[in-house]
Amino acid sequence: MTQSSFSNLAIILAAGEGTRMKSAKPKVLHEIAGLSMLGHVLAAVKNADISHIVVIIGPNHEEVASEINRHAPQAEIIVQRERLGTAHAVLQARAALEQNPKSVVVLFGDTPLVHPQTIKNLLECVSNQNAVAALGFFADNPTGYGRLLMSGNKLEAIREHKDASDKELEVKFCNAGLMALSGKHALELLSNIGNNNTQKEYYLPDAVEVACSKGLSCVALKADNKEVLGVNDRVQLAQAEAVCQSRLREQHMRNGVTLEAPETVFFSYDTYIARDVTIEPHVVFKSGVRVEAGSVIKAFSHIDGATLEKSVTIGPFARLRPGTKLGENSKIGNFVEIKASNICKNAKISHLSYIGDADIGDNANIGAGTITCNYDGFNKFRTVIGEDAFVGSNTALVAPVEIGAGAYIGSGSTITENVPDDALGLARARQVVKLGWGDSFRNINSGTKD
Ligand code: UD1
Ligand code: CA
């Protein structure tokens, strides 16, 4: 026995083309809540405490390989050159199967919503007396699925839809596709699967009949339909997204987050939100967002790669882009876009601004319509605003530029030079007033109008 003899092995099948996605991208890289389907499966496997992972991918799927390296660098990647069926795919991991794993679980890269606990339960079933444990569910429409043929508590066979008799087609208990095999028997069972069927494929589910013919016992566990949803096209992708979002909403609410209209809030798989945060309707979180306690996110805000410290208020209609850090108690109002900027504590940007590549000090007040001009078409430049500074409305800050602590900027200024601490920076034409001009203008023009 080798060193890995006592560990469990996960084999993830991801060699499919996914033709029905009608996409240039391999199917398993399509995302759910901001994470690829394959990323979801890898996370579930890791959370089921399985460290030995083999992923079977298709030829020319370099992007799939790099996604695997990103999420599970320890996983072994094997290319299945010809797609001869699910059992053939599993046998590509022969070398790992030969290392006497305790139990083996097979998962599909396009079935992303499986819970770690379900994987553990399947493994548990084959850790002692059973040779195979399949995962079943009751499909609303069983067309296309393999059927689990039971005799009492024992699973006797799995019949693919295309090979099933009329009587077998009446069975509603369907094969989800995920399966555990005892490590002791896995190789032997897999090697005995033939391809004598309608599709001339080596079917993994046939492991059940092979096991039964050898007097070994097989069982089926029942899963919730939603958990085993397989994604073959974009309609099913949207269904999986909906299931995942409703799980995330529930998780956040259970953690102490108030969602005023949960069904209108969309999270990323990695969104972190502390307790006592309130989220109004229609808010979207993209990846890499952290929100600390007591913050309020008002309606229609879009938040991507941003950190909000305690008691921050944003929105309605705020857009936070990657690299935004909002300090404690800061306030970002309506129609404000912020990118790659540090907004320190108690600072306010209340209306209609674009702030990019900026550092804004404690207590600074940025007036309505202030814009950082951070980009010249080639390079990005920073704007630095000191603490307690007050920038008047409709100011253009042409970066690189620094506004000192406690400085004031007159409204409507276009600031191109640094303004020292406590100074007033004014950069606009002096106003001209011509008394009586309106009257004479009208006199000159009267008569030209019908
Ligand atoms: C499979 C099951 C069926 C079950 C259904 C659930 C088989 C033979 N049938 O059918 O009982 O009801 O899933 O959705 O297993 N794959 C490879 N290499 C291959 C073949 C498949 O990697 O050579 C991968 C696919 O990319 C996919 C998974 O295995 O992720 C399942 O294959 P697919 O062809 O979709 O099987 P189904 O016909 O859906
Ligand atoms: Ca499928």
| Residues in Cβ contact with 188 at an 8 Å cutoff, skipping those fewer than 6 apart | none
Q: Which range marks the domain in which residue 131 is found? A: 8-222
The answer to whether residue 37 sits within a structural domain is yes
Domain boundary among 197, 222, 247: 222
Q: Are residues 271 and 308 in the same domain?
A: yes
Q: Are residues 285 and 192 in the same domain?
A: no
CA 234 to chain centre: 16
Q: How many domains does the chain divide into? A: 2
Q: Are residues 15 and 113 in the same domain?
A: yes
pLDDT in tens, 32-85: 999 999 999 999 999 999 989 999 999 989 999 999 999 999 999 999 999 999
Q: Are residues 239 and 208 in the same domain?
A: no
Query: Torsions phi, psi of 223, nearest 5?
Result: -115, 160
What's the CATH code of the domain at 242?
A: 2.160.10.10
Q: Reduced to 3 states, what is the DSSP secondary structure of residue 130?
A: strand
As a whole number of angstroms, the distance between CA 329 and CA 350 comes to 13
- Name the band, by pLDDT with cuts 50, 70 and 90, for residue 170: very high
Q: Are residues 218 and 242 in the same domain?
A: no
Domain boundary among 170, 196, 222: 222
Strand 173-182 with 103-108, pairing: antiparallel
Closest CA to 327 of 377, 285, 361, 369: 361
As a whole number of angstroms, the distance between CA 96 and CA 372 comes to 57
pLDDT at res. 126 = 97
Count of CA atoms in the C-beta half-sphere (13 A) of 207: 34
Q: Are residues 16 and 143 in the same domain?
A: yes
As a whole number of angstroms, the distance between CA 237 and CA 299 comes to 26
> Which atom of ligand 1 has the smallest separation from the CA of 144?
12
The answer to whether residue 449 sits within a structural domain is no
Average pLDDT estimate for 107-117: 98
77 Cα–ligand 2 center, Å: 21
Q: Alpha carbon of 218 to those of 13, 146, 179, 207, 370: distances in Å?
A: 22, 16, 11, 9, 69
Query: Torsions phi, psi of 50, nearest 5?
Result: -105, 125
pLDDT in tens, 138-165: 998 999 999 999 999 999 999 999 999 9
Q: Are residues 419 and 357 in the same domain?
A: yes
What's the CATH code of the domain at 175?
A: 3.90.550.10
pLDDT at res. 450 = 60
Q: Are residues 239 and 327 in the same domain?
A: yes
The answer to whether residue 194 sits within a structural domain is yes
Residue identifier of the C-alpha nearest atom 30 of ligand 1? 108
User: Which residues on neighbouring strands pair with residue 174, listed in sequence order?
Assistant: 137, 147
The answer to whether residue 173 sits within a structural domain is yes
pLDDT in tens, 274-303: 999 999 999 999 999 999 999 999 999 999
- Lining ligand 1 with CB less than 6 A are 13-16, 56, 80, 83-86, 88-89, 108-110, 145-146, 158, 160, 174-177, 203-205, 230
How many residues are given for the chain? 450
Q: Are residues 324 and 399 in the same domain?
A: yes
| Residues in Cβ contact with 274 at an 8 Å cutoff, skipping those fewer than 6 apart | 256, 291, 292, 293, 294, 295
Of 52, 282, 302, 351, which residue is the catalytic one? 351
Q: How many CB atoms lie within 10 A of CB 213?
A: 11
As a whole number of angstroms, the distance between CA 327 and CA 322 comes to 15
42 Cα–ligand 1 center, Å: 18
Q: Are residues 135 and 284 in the same domain?
A: no
What is the C-alpha R_g of the chain? 31
pLDDT at res. 192 = 98
Contact 349, 368 (CB under 8 A): no
Per-residue DSSP letter, 431 = P
Assess whether pLDDT exceeds 70 at residue 238. yes
Q: Is 115 a catalytic residue?
A: no
Contact 397, 379 (CB under 8 A): no
The answer to whether residue 289 sits within a structural domain is yes
41 Cα–ligand 2 center, Å: 15
The answer to whether residue 260 sits within a structural domain is yes
The answer to whether residue 433 sits within a structural domain is no
Q: Are residues 215 and 243 in the same domain?
A: no
Q: Which ligand is nearest to the CA of 14?
A: 1
Q: Are residues 246 and 380 in the same domain?
A: yes
The answer to whether residue 442 sits within a structural domain is no
Domain boundary among 222, 256, 271: 222
Assess whether pLDDT exceeds 90 at residue 17. no
Amino acid in position 212: C
Assess whether pLDDT exceeds 90 at residue 211. yes
